Chains A and B, each alone.
Chain A
Amino acid sequence: MLLIRCPYCEAERPELEFTYAGEAHIARPAEPSKLTDEQWRDYLFIRSNPRGIHFERWRHQHGCARFFNAVRDTVTDKFVMTYKAGLPRPSLSELENARS
């Protein structure tokens, strides 16, 4: 069971309190009706599924109930960092800092 740091509660809590919510930084298009079928398909279904660093959403369901973003290594299953929803994707140097 992982320990996850909620960026709103600013505390590490057991995975039991959280739910996973899919890949992060996939914004809902502002005007879906203007998208082609292919563009809309990509938004709905196409995900990066990387080996290594993955940007993903979690929710502190049984805590503050907030959605937030996390960076997790899919090989080691270790969290590199977590950050609040709406913040931009962390840069490589920020990730390096978080790892060290």
Chain B
Amino acid sequence: MTSYRISGRGRIDRSKPVSFTFNGASYSGFQGDTLASALLANGVHLVGRSFKYHRPRGILSAGSEEPNALVGTHRGAGRFEPNTRATVLEIFDGLAASSQNHWPSLKWDIGAVNDALYMLFSAGFYYKTFMWPKSFWNKVYEPFIRSAAGLGVSPSAPDPDTYASRFAHFDVLVVGAGPAGLAAALEAGRSGAKVILCDEQAELGGSLLSETDASIDGRPGWEWLEAATNELAALGNVTVLLRTTAIGYYHQNLLGLCQRLTDHLANPPEGAPRERMWKVRARQVVLAQGAIEKPLVFAGNDRPGVMLAGAARSYLNRYGVKVGHRPVVVTSHDSAWLAAFDLAQAGAKVGAIVDTRPEIGRHLKERAAALGIEVLAGWTVTGTSGRLRVSSVRTNPVSRSGVVGRARVIACDALLMSGGWTPSLHLFSHTKGKLDWNEERQMFLPGEQTEACRCAGAGNGNFGLAAALEEGAKAGAAAAADAGFKTEARSYAVEGEIALAGVSHRELPTDRNTSRAKAFVDFQNDVTAKDIRLAVREGFKSIEHIKRYTTTGMATDQGKTSNINGLAIASDAVGKAAPSVGLTTFRPPYTPTSFGAFTGYNRGALFDVTRKTPIDAWAEENGAVFEPVSLWRRAWYFPRNGEDMRAAVARECNAVRESLGMFDASTLGKIEIVGPDAAEFLNRMYTNPWSKLAPGRCRYGVLLGEDGFIRDDGVIGRLTSDRFHVTTTTGGAARVLAMMEDYLQTEWPDLKVWLTSTTEQWAVIALNGPNARKLLEPLIEGIDLSEEAFPHMSVAEGRICGVPTRLFRMSFTGERGYEVNVPARYGRAVWEKIYEAGQQYGITPYGTETMHVLRAEKGYIIVGQDTDGTLTPDDAGLGWAIGKNKPDFVGKRSLSRPDMLKGNRKQLVGLLTADPNTVLEEGAQIVLDPNQSVPMRMVGHVTSSYWSATLGRSIALAVIEGGRARQGETVHIPMPGRMHAANIVGTVFYDPENKCLSALG
């Protein structure tokens, strides 16, 4: 055992030694240690370098508020985590941790030169230093800032761990298991309410774990804690979550709780999730978050060995670690005296208690005298020394008139400070609860609340064990009562507690030049008191501006130890009271939280739904290459014998044009519209007229938004007078149905129409090519496929291969086309039968790429590719699809708005490149004059572009200002390193007379 580990103190398990490494050196600690306590037990205070100045830094706190002691942890391949706070990291056998932010080593760091260049890095240094010359930004300043900024190094390998998540509902949620939270949970639990109690630490108790003097109901505090823990465990209606941080408090009492499950284990169970995110909805919430100790602001307050007095007390009483042999205490608050007393009793030689207050309570002075501790009341601290660890403190008397007297230097190996306590209001603040400034106590307290919650204990400004227990019990009972459970708060008898008082300070008074002092306010972002005063001198008056200019409170600790000191100094500099300078906003998460915990199960295959058609497995077995189309995965092309994409698509295109191709069109959106007013409903929704469409016939429909722009399109078949089979684009199906439902439910509720999504009920096999009819004829029953009975744009019901079918005759390729709809469960079987029967025609399965090429050759648009939400039907060349005699349809009125009638609207045209082998890039911009200076005037862009095997050259569709009137003109498409010329042509490249739609093979 090292000389810093005190026998007989602490809650660590001395029968279970743990070995770990820090920066490669081996150390040992005990089960129950944090990395911080174990390092301190080994005499290690230096654990990192600071963010901006690379100053040596030690351990400031003993909790999650730690700004300094951030380490990288290694848990095997892919399991590296940066910026873990050593003060909350539980050690386990084999843990490897390393310090950050230095090169080449922690003890000798080249970046520390920044500390000497202090003047360069003052408040707003980014804005000042890197302003000039402009050309330096990209090449010099930005790379420098990028490499210098940031704390730890990001992990580079994928995270191999799994993360869980869970929704839960409770009557009462208690955040924090210190005395207040325990008392609240006990009351609520005894009432029978369903209670959840969470605490970020590994065991229940909170501040009680560091308290060894007081007794509760006649029992030592730890005995009471054990009994309370056992009682909670025995209550079946109470859930206790340890190592669980309430990270955020959202509307209507929804809280996010991040539970760490395996990070503390040397050998986590195989497959166990690392963390679990609880999303808890509670009827009532009790916030018992406690308070965070404030550092004092004086020159050299960041040296390793300088730490919060309460932390030193925790290390001693909870972990059995003496943070120094010769500590000195500097404080403005009674609580730090307890640290001095405890350390003295544990054998430390306390050099002095320096208290800024001239008047000290007699009970404290007497106890200090009894322990032989010198008391310097009404003194200040003006500096520290020691390169990698504090070795002395410079302290001076301050007269009643404020004059700082002659300095006295006291040797020490630890300096314990306390500037009082700040109630932890983060979660309360997440709810937009109002914070009230208490001028006398110099702290914010919970004000008007917006949610069903109560604050209790130190988190409500009521410090001390007795107050915490009393207020916690009351809050727990009241919460249970409001949730509908009867109970009465019981009271607790606390003895041995010392009443705690204190005052608040800005920077401590000094006899030295303050412009050279490095008195830190924000340790993690390296912001000094001088920086804040400089920001105010430069004109920043609001704390939100001061924060952003100096970066105070903007580090990963969100200013837990620095916000109030920063605000006090800023309000003094501005010359206004703290509330008018304002408090910055706390935001979730309370402490840094892994992305994995937020992601939960939603990664990899579970990140999003992959919709597959009934024919998808066949495509996979037959070598299809897939592409995602909205949530669907669709066969993109079917390469054979090592073909590349271009060769496969050319072969598939030729097969369709010359004989027969088959295509899985099941993803097409389908909506069944039924009812006596179905035709009237379609009249109002679509641009086209529907009343006169005969049963058994189909029509291409265009759907606009009320703004007149194209939203969707598709072929609609009329089965009977009151039943329509509507198809939509693959990606638009849900949107179109929602839009239809909106109009039907809220604008025309009088119409007798019912809408049903049938997208997944039908499998759709598109057969295209001159041999399509010959193939189908022997397979179909009950439908006459002759040209007269079943012309282009027809629909009929019958049977195919013995199963029911809704057969469409339509074409999205320009060839004779049929779309065989069969109930989804028959999709694959019918597909295989057709494939077999089609062998005599060389039937060729094709994918979405071939479909795109074939439709582009015919100038058929794809909504969302050739249109972008700013095209009217006329812009897209679909003016013919507007029912001229219809009085109204969705979007009609917008088509006559002045901007819709302008002559230079972008219109859809075809493009043929001067070089037939050039395939333009989709999205490329188009200009009229290739020789104009940059920036050029862009008149449109390429929307679709392919190699056309049919035509033996490239083709493209584009939208161009006034494009239709420009047919025959040459436009130019600037691309990196080249300017392509192209000729504007019509949109139909293949079979403009539509002869092929009816051709027979």
Contacts and interface: CB of A to CB of B under 8 A. Distances in A.
B251 A86 contact: no
A44 B887 contact: no
A46 to B, nearest CB: 13
A84 to B, nearest CB: 10
Contacts of A66: 745
B447 interface: no
A67 interface: yes
A37 B897 contact: yes
Nearest to B892: A32
Nearest to B889: A32
B966 interface: no
Nearest to B898: A37
Contact of A76 (B432, B742, B892, B893): B432
A40 B738 CA distance: 23
B894 A86 contact: no
Given A44-B706, A61-B738, A67 B897 contact: no
Contacts of B251: 1-3, 77-78
A41 B897 contact: yes
B250 A76 contact: no
B749 A86 contact: yes
Interface in A41-95: 41, 44, 57, 59, 61, 65-67, 76-78, 85-86
B902 to A, nearest CB: 14
A28 interface: yes
Contact of A65 (B254, B741, B888): B741
A31 to B, nearest CB: 7
B707 A44 contact: yes
A32 B254 contact: no
A82 B894 CA distance: 32
A94 to B, nearest CB: 21
B888 A85 contact: no
B440 interface: no
Contacts of A77: 251
Contacts of B893: 32-33, 35, 40
Chain B's interface size range is 20 to 34
Contacts of B743: 28
A80 B888 CA distance: 37
Interface centre among A35, A41, A44, A86 (most CB of B within 10 A): A44
Given A59-B738, A61-B738, A85-B746, A40 B894 contact: yes
Given A32-B888, A40-B894, A3 B252 contact: yes
B888 to A, nearest CB: 6
A76 B450 contact: yes
B741 A40 contact: no
A1 B745 contact: no
A36 B210 CA distance: 76
A59 B887 CA distance: 29
A27 interface: yes
Contacts of B745: 66-67, 85
A21 B738 CA distance: 10
Contacts of A33: 887-888, 892-893
Contact of A67 (B252, B741, B887): B741
A85 B748 CA distance: 12
Nearest to B744: A67
B621 interface: no
Interface in B410-465: 432, 450
Interface string B230-262: 000000000000000000001110100000000
Interface in B272-290: 279, 281
30 contacts: A1-B250, A1-B252, A1-B254, A1-B279, A2-B251, A3-B251, A3-B252, A19-B738, A21-B742, A27-B747, A28-B706, A28-B747, A31-B887, A31-B888, A32-B892, A33-B887, A33-B888, A35-B893, A37-B898, A40-B894, A59-B741, A61-B738, A66-B745, A67-B742, A76-B432, A78-B251, A85-B745, A85-B746, A85-B749, A86-B749
Given A33-B888, A41-B897, 4 more contacts: A3-B281, A44-B894, A76-B432, A86-B749
Interface of B: 250-252, 254, 279, 281, 432, 450, 706-707, 738, 741-743, 745-747, 749, 887-888, 892-894, 897-898
The 10 closest A-B pairs by CB, nearest first: A32-B893, A67-B745, A3-B252, A28-B747, A85-B746, A67-B746, A2-B251, A40-B893, A1-B254, A37-B897
